[in-house]
Every structure is written in structure tokens, then in C-alpha cells.
Chain A
Amino acid sequence: MTTLDTTVRAKRSLASRVASRASGGVLQIFLILVALFWLVPTLGLLVSSFRDPTDIATSGWWKVFTAPGQLTAKSYQSLLENDAITQSLLNTVWITVPATLLVVLIGAMAGYAFAWMDFKGRDWWFLVVVALLVVPVQIALIPLADLFGKIGIFGDIIGVVLFHVGFGLPFAIFLLRNFFAEIPRELLEAARLDGAGETRLFFTVVLPLGAPAIASLGIFQFLWVWNDMLVALVFSDSESQPLTVALQQQVRQFGNNIDVLAPGAFISMVIPLVVFFAFQRQFVSGVMAGAVK
């Protein structure tokens, strides 16, 4: 078998070595072109954000390669002096951080209960949670706008946060329950024998052991809320709007305010990109598991 194999290989490699070399070169070039195709749009935004408004209006961003003197941080400076924009950036943080922490905490509590507590109807309740995984956010826009209006939190940050918590929970519970269920029973029983109650068990054993899943969930939820525009567009007002909504209002006069939009969009991208490059593995697993949303 081995000898036959090698003779076949040898024949093939003699005949096809030249051809595969050539096709390897074509492949490299093709992939480089694709990579450029993916890189250039973002590069265009980045370069535009560092140009003067008058330059943006008269020539393409690629002109900087022949005239690097055009590069300036003026747009960023004026953007950061714009109170509406800085306020909206703060709002983004005030919305994203609580919405992420609450989903992780409440989701972990429920996930632990579903994984390790014994109560009647547990499997049915969990089935309901799984069913809610794919409910589109759109169906809740009108009902919650009415509801929040009635209880007086429409337009408040708290309304936006609540919405994101509600729609973040099914995935959080699903992911964490499956992860917690893999914790070895002996670990929990040992802690139990030491006299730990459920609450202490949860904080001292379950949460630390669940850290990898919690990290994936946290990163996914953080980016989901940070990048959201639709929910905030409906539920926030001019005081509480996040950066995405503030920028969206500028898109109407697209040609005239690229000097606001380009640096603004780039600032909104910085945090997600940092998270992306710093936590690639958790990010990828979070996105892959949560894309059903």
C-alpha cells in the first residue's frame, strides 16, 4: 500500500508540480485582491476622517497618497468639541455597560437554576426560553414604546437598557445553562459539603468556572448593544441618544458632513475593533453562537 501510494504520488507530482506552482500564484493574487476589496472601504473612511472638509468635498480620499500633507486631525478636534456628540458617546457607555452586566448576571442566575436546580416544570420553562431565542426585536418596538410611554420611561436611557436586557436574556440563559451543565457535579457537591448555600455556590464556584462562557457572552452582548441603532432610534430622545443615533441624524446631508460622519463613525468603531483584536477567540465563539438573534 505504501509503495503504491508513493509511486502514484511521484507520478502526480512530476506531472503537476509546474501546474500547481502556477495555480498557487494565481490563488495568492486572487486572495490579495479579495483582501484589498475588504480593506479599501474601511481605509477610505479612515483616511477621509483625517482630511479637511474642503479637501473631502473636492477630491477623493486616495489623493492623500500623492499629497500626504492633506492629513489633519481637525475633524476629530471639532467633533470632540461638539457637545451633542460627546454626550451621545457617554450615553452609549451608559446604555452598554448596564445592559451587558445585567444580562450576564440575570442570565447566569437563571442559567444556573436551569442547569443545577430541581423544580417542577424546569424543562418546559427552558423550552420557552429556547423558543424565544429567535424572536425578532421588531415585534417589541411598538408594544414597548406604548408600555414605556405609559410608565414614563420612554425616551430614557433606562428604557433602552431594559429593551436590550429583555432581548439579550434568552441567548444568555441558553448559552450559560449549557456551559454550567458541564461543570463536574463533584465540584459543586464538595462546596456544598463545606456548607456553602446556593448563593455562595453561585458566586464562588459557578461564576468563576463559567468565566470562558461569560466572557464570550459579555463580549457579544457588549458589541450588540454598542452597535445597536434601531432600538435606540425608537426608545431614546435627544438627551439620551447614543452615538449611532446622533450620527444617523447627520446622514441625511451626507455630502455636506462627511467631516462629522467619518470621524464619528470611526470613533464608534474603535471600541468594537479593540475588543475584536484583543478577544478574537471569545468574540468569534460569541458571534457564532449568538448570530441567531
Chain B
Amino acid sequence: MTSVANTTGGAGALPTPSVSPRKSVTGTRLWVAVLFLLPALVLLGALVVYPIGYSIWRSLYDADGSGFVGLDNYGDIFSNDATLTAVRNTAIWVAVAPAIVTALGLIFAVLTERVRWGTAFKLLIFMPMAISMLAAGIIFRLVYEQDPDLGAANAVAKSVHDTFVSSSVYPDARPNATASDLKPSGGGSFTTTGTVHAGTPALLPLVGIAPNRLPGSPENAKAATGSGVTGTVWLDFKLGGGGTKGQIDAGEKALKGVKVEAVKDGRTVASAKTGADGTFKLPDEADGAQLRLPASNFSAPYNGIDWLGPTLVTPAIIGSYVWMWAGFAMVLIAAGLAGVDRNLLEAARVDGANEWQVFRRVTVPLLAPVLAVVLITLMINVMKIFDLVYIIAPQPSQPDANVLALQLFLSSFGGGGNEGVGSAIGVILLLLVLPVMWVNIRRLRRERQR
């Protein structure tokens, strides 16, 4: 009990109990108070206070705890490449994620006030707060799946991409090296060595695709007829064998939609696309030109964005965090917004301010205290981010996505075998929240003095 007596020595700084509105109902006997407080104080002491002291002490010792190393573990964190990435990524997280979440929360809070289904919208946006980061991580692993046929993000990316860039139909096609005049001409295109002449249909046979893998239901290839510069592009392969290489045999399939360019002295003078029967017709000025099948016919299909690769993995995970926490910011800011005096907004509108000016000059300044609380809360939260990174980053990208809390886990429990460095990271995380701890204490003491 001496510690209680000692700490009371400084009680003069706080209001004297007699003026406090919360005195015991009738004088409480000390042992009753002790009885009510003891479980909490013992647990807090053993499970929260003691670990802080132990971590500080442990962070000054080496990996197995036998040798005193001073501040070397802290030095290691800022010199070792792996941990330095974690420091840098945590800084990115703290700088970026809370700002995006708060901005989105503000936008949603302001906009939902204007629609009738605002409550339903808020409910939906807030819902991810209820689920675990593990579940959110699995949800976003699915979203970010690389294969555009499986992952929603890349399915969208691919359809947007393919809207603007026409994709090639025959990525695997190539000329038959022996039976064809077409030779590779750099960059994935193929050009004939000879020239084409009006009245002599050109034959451009391709191989490399199985006939049953052709898209759509291809027609049989036909030899081009008529005068002018013409020709046929077709799949020079007959199921079951047979046929003559370089000749259009009965049953061989046409390749539709292949781009054919006429090239004279390296310049493209004309171009055409093959029709359903594989034939194409070039204008007369193509007479005497070489024929080129440009690389766009053979380019590999667009495969989406490598979301979880080394460069994009951190922004991708931040995206999932924004999804989880935007609702939190929105609800807090909406509560603040409900307390804003509407007359102030209306007065600004009457004075001729447009909606953006009202938002920028009146709403945001009035909400500044709420925005600050949201921002700081999110910063504390983001500093300790662990689950999302651990779940979403695939093994090969994990070093690139590393953050302090993950590094602490990896150093101490994930095979790193270095509790010294782990403890040092823990102490750094504690140091980072000290300012907030101080603000909390200050606020409490101010309230007491009132």
C-alpha cells in the first residue's frame, strides 16, 4: 500500500476530493475499494505494464538475450535492408491511408445527407468494420487474383483495356518456316521476301494453332479470286494429316480478321483485313509491294495488372484498408456534421456561395476538430497494421509489402529468431503513440479541473 501513499503525494495538482462531484456514497472502507480494483490492477500490471518494461530492457540485448548490445538493435532496424523497407512502408501507410480514408469519409458523409437512401448507404459502407481483417484479406486476395478470368479487379482492367486496344485474335500463330515466304521482320511481325502482283493471289499460310482452338466457327479457307492485289491468310493444317504444305487444301480453316500491310521500301502503302473466308484485297498501289503481317496480329493477350507484384502490393493493400475503414471515418464525420449549425451553411448560400465554396469555406473548417480526431485515430491504427499485409501479400511480395508490425512478428516468431530486434520494434511502436497518450492525459486533467 506504500505505493498508493507515495503517489498521493502529488495529488495537489488534481482537484481535492472534497469538491469532486463523485465522492463515495458514504465513506468507503479502503479494503472494499481494493477488492473492486485489485483484479483490474493486477491484470493490467502483469499483462500491460510489465511487458512495456520487459520490452525496453529486452531491446537492449542481443538475439538470444545473453549479451548486452546497447542501442544496436535500434541501429539495425534503420540499417538492415529488410527492416528499412518495413520502416519506409509504415511511413507510406501512415502518410497515405489515413488521409484517403478521412477524405472519402468526409465526401460520403456530406453527400449521403442529400439522398433519401443515405442510411442504407452508410450501413453498407460501415459493414466491413464488423468483419475481421483476415476475412477482408481473403476477400481482397480474391479481388486481386492475377488471372482476369478469376480476379474481379483484373477482369475490369482487361475489359477497359480491350475496349481501347483491340486485342489480337491469334497470339500463338506463326508462319510455317519451310513452306512459307513469310520471314520474321522484327518486333514480332512477319514480311514476305517476295513481292505481290495484281492477278497473282498471295498465299500466306500460318500454323501454330490447333484448328479446334480457333475462336468462333471459322469458315473453310478459299483461294482469292478476281483481279487486283489479293491473297489468303489461312491455317495451313489439316486435321488428320494430309494436304500439301503451302497450298489451300479442302477443309483447311480461314483466319479471319488478320491485318495485312503492303510495304514498299519500308513504308506501309496500304493495309487490309482478311474476311471470313480468309481472303483480303489491297488497292492497286500495293502492286509490287512486300506483304507484312504486323505484330498486332500476334501480340499476347492483355493479362491485367500485377496488383500483388513488388511495385503495386502496398498500394493494393492500402486499397483494401480504405475499403474497411472508410465507413468508420464516414460515421464519425457524419456525427460531427449533424452538430453543425445549418443556418451557417444557409447564410453562406444566401450570400451567393456555390456548393463547393460552402463545403470548402464553411463545412470543412467547422468539422476540423472531428477530422483531426479521425485522422489521428487512423494513424495510430495504421501504424500497427499487420493482418491485412500478412494475408494479402503473397510470399514472394512479402518483403516488398513489409511493415513494422509484420517485421516484429517475423523477427520474433516467424523464424527470425531475434527477440532483441522484435522488442526494439515494439518499443518504437510505443514511442510513436506517446504523443497521443500525452494528449489523452492532458484532456482528462483539463476535464477534471473544470
A, B assembled together: yes
Please tell me which one of the listed residues B7, B142, B155, B437 contacts residue A45 in the complex, with CB atoms under 8 A apart. B142
Q: Which residues of chain B (1-30) have a CB below 8 Å from chain A?
A: 4-5, 7-8, 10-11, 14, 17, 21-28, 30
Majority SS of interface residues in chain A? helix
Please tell me which one of the listed residues A122, A167, A229, A283 contacts residue B134 in the complex, with CB atoms under 8 A apart. A229
Cα separation A283 to B43 with both chains bound (whole Å) = 26
Asked if A106 and B40 make an inter-chain contact with CB atoms under 8 angstroms apart, the answer reads yes
In the bound complex, residues from chain A placing their C-beta under 8 Å from that of B423 are 142-143
Q: Which residues of chain B (34-84) have a CB below 8 Å from chain A?
A: 34, 36-37, 39-41, 43-44, 46-52, 54-55, 58
In the bound complex, residues from chain B placing their C-beta under 8 Å from that of A144 are 47, 51
Q: Which residue of A lies closest to B3 (CB)?
A: A121
A169-B50 contact given A229-B132, A269-B131, CB 8 Å threshold: no
Asked if A169 and B328 make an inter-chain contact with CB atoms under 8 angstroms apart, the answer reads no
Cα separation A124 to B47 with both chains bound (whole Å) = 19
Majority SS of interface residues in chain B? helix
Chain A 169-192: CB-based contact to B (< 8 A → 1; otherwise 0): 110010000000100010011001
Q: Which residue of B lies closest to A192 (CB)?
A: B25
Cα separation A129 to B323 with both chains bound (whole Å) = 32
In the bound complex, residues from chain A placing their C-beta under 8 Å from that of B152 are 40-41, 44, 60-62
Does A14 reach chain B (CB closer than 8 Å)?
no
Asked if A265 and B8 make an inter-chain contact with CB atoms under 8 angstroms apart, the answer reads no
Does B362 reach chain A (CB closer than 8 Å)?
no
In the bound complex, residues from chain B placing their C-beta under 8 Å from that of A287 are 129, 328
Chain A 154-167: CB-based contact to B (< 8 A → 1; otherwise 0): 00000000110111
Chain B 316-353: CB-based contact to A (< 8 A → 1; otherwise 0): 00000001000010011001000000000000001000
Does A101 reach chain B (CB closer than 8 Å)?
no
In the bound complex, residues from chain B placing their C-beta under 8 Å from that of A230 are 386-387, 405, 409
Asked if A120 and B8 make an inter-chain contact with CB atoms under 8 angstroms apart, the answer reads yes
For B14, B47, B390, B444, the residue with the greatest tally of chain A CB atoms inside 10 Å of its CB is: B47
Does A73 reach chain B (CB closer than 8 Å)?
no
Q: How many residues from A make CB contacts under 8 Å with B?
A: 112
Asked if B127 and A247 make an inter-chain contact with CB atoms under 8 angstroms apart, the answer reads no
For B108, B142, B444, the residue with the greatest tally of chain A CB atoms inside 10 Å of its CB is: B142
Please tell me which one of the listed residues B115, B350, B381, B412 contacts residue A28 in the complex, with CB atoms under 8 A apart. B115
Does A275 reach chain B (CB closer than 8 Å)?
yes
Please tell me which one of the listed residues A227, A283, A292 contacts residue B133 in the complex, with CB atoms under 8 A apart. A227
Q: How many residues from B make CB contacts under 8 Å with A?
A: 107
Please tell me which one of the listed residues A146, A226, A251 contacts residue B141 in the complex, with CB atoms under 8 A apart. A251
Number of A-B contacts (CB under 8 A): 314
Asked if A269 and B135 make an inter-chain contact with CB atoms under 8 angstroms apart, the answer reads yes
Cα separation A8 to B352 with both chains bound (whole Å) = 10
Cα separation A71 to B112 with both chains bound (whole Å) = 35
Does A218 reach chain B (CB closer than 8 Å)?
no
A59-B149 contact given A144-B47, A188-B25, CB 8 Å threshold: yes
A252-B395 contact given A120-B4, A138-B384, CB 8 Å threshold: yes
A136-B433 contact given A117-B24, A141-B412, A287-B129, CB 8 Å threshold: yes
Cα separation A114 to B22 with both chains bound (whole Å) = 9
Does B425 reach chain A (CB closer than 8 Å)?
yes
A–B pairs, 20, beta carbons within 8 Å? A34-B125, A35-B124, A44-B142, A45-B138, A60-B152, A61-B152, A106-B39, A137-B384, A138-B426, A139-B55, A141-B426, A143-B50, A147-B54, A162-B47, A170-B48, A223-B130, A234-B413, A254-B394, A262-B138, A288-B332
Apart from A110-B41, A121-B4, 20 more pairs, CB < 8 Å: A34-B121, A35-B124, A35-B125, A42-B127, A42-B128, A107-B40, A113-B33, A113-B37, A115-B22, A118-B17, A129-B44, A136-B433, A147-B46, A169-B44, A228-B132, A229-B133, A247-B134, A248-B391, A251-B391, A262-B142
